[in-house]
Structure 1
Amino acid sequence: MKDIAKKSNTMYLLEKYNMKATKKFGQNFLIDLNVVQKIVGCTQIDKQTCVIEIGPGIGSLSEQLSYQAGHVVCYEIDTRLKDVLAESLADCDNVEVIFQDFLTVDLKEVVKKYKQEYQRVCIVANLPYYITSDILEYILTSEAMIDSIHVMVQKEVALKLTDVSYHSPLTFMIESIGTSSLDMLISKNVFSPAPRVDSAILSIHIQKTYNPNLTKILKQSFTQKRKTIYNNLKTLFLEDTEKILNECGIDLKKDQKN
C-alpha cells in the first residue's frame, strides 16, 4: 500500500484488521503523510544508511523511511500487527520486520552486522511516552556503533533533554557521547487516537562510544535529590570520594540543582 500515513489508508487498515490502539503498548497512529515525510527529512538518511525502527505500528513511518534508506529493520512487540504489516509493507523490499521486544535485542551485535554493509546506522522511532527514558538509556548504554538517534517523544521531554540547565542521568549520558537537538514539533492532532500532549522530534548525534562505568556513577549521584554529590557518591568511593571530586574539579557541596 502506498502512502500508509494518509488518514483514509490508515483507517482502512485499522478497520480491515479490526485493530485498535492499546494503552499497553502506548500506541498512537500517525495520520498525516506530510508530517511523516518531514520526520524522515529530520534524519538525513540516504541509501548508505541502515535504519533501525522501534515500533513500526502499521508501517506509516517505515514506508517513508524505505524510500530514502538502504535498509530498514523494524522491531515490533505487538504480534497482532503481523498481518497488517505483511499487507502495508508488501511493496517495500528493503524493509525487514522482526517481532521482538526491542529491549531484549543485542543492539551492539545487530549494529555491528549492518555496519558491514552500510556506512551509517541510525535509530528512528515514535516512542511510547511511558517507556521513553528506558529505551533511550538502553540505546545510549549499549555501546553499539550507532551514528544518530531520531525519536518522537513528548514535547516536554524533548525540551528538558535539550535544555543545558536541566540535569539528569539521561542528559549526562547524552552529553558524554554526543549532542542533542529538538528538530521538530508535532501536534497531538495528527494522531489517532490523539494523545493528551504534543510531541517533538529529538535527535542525538553520536560522536564517541559510551563509557559503561559512567552509568553506576550517574545513578548514584542522583539517588537522593536533597543530598550533595559528595554524600551521594561516598557510598561508592568511600574515603576516596573527596579526593576524586577535587581531582575532577567538582565542588563537594554541589547538588543536582547546580
Structure 2
Amino acid sequence: MNKRKNLGQHFLKSKTIAKSIVSNANITRNDVVLEIGTGYGILIPYLCKNAKQVFSIENDQNLHLSAKSNFHDYSNLVLEYGDGFNSDHNFSIFVSNLPYSKSRFAVEWLLQKKFSRAVIMVQKEFSEKLSSNEKHKAISVLANYGFRIKFLMNVKKSNFFPIPKVDSVVILLEQKKIISKVLISTVNRVFSYRRKTLQNILKQFGLNSTSKKRLDELSGDEIIKIAQKIVRS
C-alpha cells in the first residue's frame, strides 16, 4: 500500500461515486472499455453491466490476483497484469481513477489514441490546469485542442483510502482530434522557452519571425499552429 501511496494512488471506496463515474461514460453494448488501474475493482461491476468488452489492467500483482479471484464470473471482462499504458487494445471508452502522478502522462497518452470518450478522476489542481485559459500550460493547450473537456463532479478526499491530502475531480474528455507524439513533444519544447518572445522561441528551432509576442498573448490554437509549423520545418 505504501508503494501505491507514493505513486499518488488512493482507492475510491464510494460505490455511489463509482456508479456515477461509469454512468457518465454512457457505455453501450457496442463499446469496448479500457480501464487502467483495476485497484480493488470498484468500477468493474458497473463497467461490465452494459459493455461489449472490458479490459482492466493492473500493475500491482497482488491487486491483479485479487481481482481475478473476485470477478472471475464476468464473461465480458478481461483482467490483465502489467502497465496499461503499454497495452495495444483498441477501445472506444476509457475509464480510470488515475494515480495523481500519472495524470499528465495519461492525458498525453490519450491524445494519441483513437477513442470516443474518457471519464477520468484527477487531482483538483490538475483539472484546473487543463481548463485554464488565463495562463497557458502546455498540457492545457494540448488537451483543449484534442478534447472537449467537461467537468462532472467534485470528489472529497474522504471518499478514498488512504485519504489523500487534496480533493479530486471527475472530468469527461470527448475526442476532437488525435495528436501525434511529435506534435505533443514540440508543444512541450515550445513551452520550455515560454519566457522568450516568439521571435526568440522560433530561433531555437531554426525559424525566423519578427513577432515580439509571448506565449501568454497567444491563443491555444495559435500555439498549436506554431508547433505544427516547427514540425513541418
TM range (shorter): 0.7 to 0.9
Aligned mate of 1:34, from 16, 30, 38: 16
The alignment status of 1:102 with 2:84, answered yes or no, reads yes
CA-to-aligned-CA distance 1:197-220 (integer Å, 9 cap, x gap): 111112111022224442233122
Map Cα deviations across residues 88-143 of structure 1 (whole Å, 9 max, x no partner). Answer: 2122221111111123234xxx21xx5xxxxxx11110011112111211221x3x
- Give the alignment of 1:71-110 within 5 angstroms: 71-106=53-88, 110=89
Shift of 1:254: 2.0
Residue 5 (structure 1) aligns with: none
1:126-176, CA deviations, whole angstroms, 9 ceiling, x for partnerless residues?
A: 011112111211221x3x221112110001211221233342221222222
Is the contact between residue 58 and residue 88 of structure 1 (CA under 8 Å) also seen in structure 2? no
Whole-Å separation in 2 of the counterparts to 1:230 and 1:199: 39
Distance 1:165 1:68, change over 3 A: farther
Amino acid at match of 1:123: F
Of the three residues 146, 164, 172, the one matched with 2:141 is 172
For 2:170, the equivalent position in structure 1 comes to 201
**Is this contact kept in 1: 2:7–2:100, CA < 8 A?**
no
Mapped to 1, the partners of 2:155 and 2:162 lie a distance apart of 14
TM-score (norm 1): 0.77
Aligned to 2:214: 254
Counterparts of 1:80-229 in structure 2, within 5 Å, are: 80-106=62-88, 110-111=89-90, 121-140=92-111, 142=112, 144-229=113-198
Contact 2:59/2:84 (CA < 8 Å) preserved in 1? yes
Runs (5+) with no aligned partner, structure 2: 219-233
* Cα pair distance change 1:25/1:94, threshold 3 Å: farther
- CA change 1:215–1:198 in 2 (3 A) is same
Quote the Cα distance in structure 2 between the aligned partners of 1:54 and 1:192: 18
Deviation at 1:30, TM superposition (A): 1.5
Percent identity, aligned pairs only, is 27
Residues 1:88 and 1:166: Cα distance change in structure 2 (over 3 Å): farther
For each residue in 1:76-99, what CA deviation from the matched residue of structure 2 results, as whole angstroms up to 9, or x when unmatched? Answer: 111112331012212222111111
The Cα RMSD (Å) is: 2.1
- Name the stretch that deviates more: 59-68 or 217-226: 217-226
Are the equivalent residues in 1 in contact too, given 2:148–2:174 (CA < 8 A)?
Answer: yes
**Separation in structure 1 between the aligned mates of residue 175 and residue 70 of structure 2, nearest angstrom:** 32
Are the structure 2 counterparts of residues 253 and 166 from structure 1 closer, same or farther at C-alpha, using a change threshold of 3 Å?
Answer: closer
Runs of 4+ off more than 3 Å: none
Partner of 2:33: 51
Task: Identify the residue that residue 246 of structure 1 maps to in structure 2.
Answer: none
Change in CA separation of 1:220 and 1:229 when aligned onto 2, cut-off 3 Å: farther
**How has the CA–CA distance of structure 1 residues 39 and 85 changed in structure 2, closer, same or farther, with 3 Å as cutoff?**
same
User: Could you tell me which of 197, 200, 208 is aligned with 1:241?
Assistant: 208
In structure 2, C-alpha distance between the alignment counterparts of 1:182 and 1:195, rounded to whole Å: 20
173-182 or 225-234, which moves further after superposition? 225-234
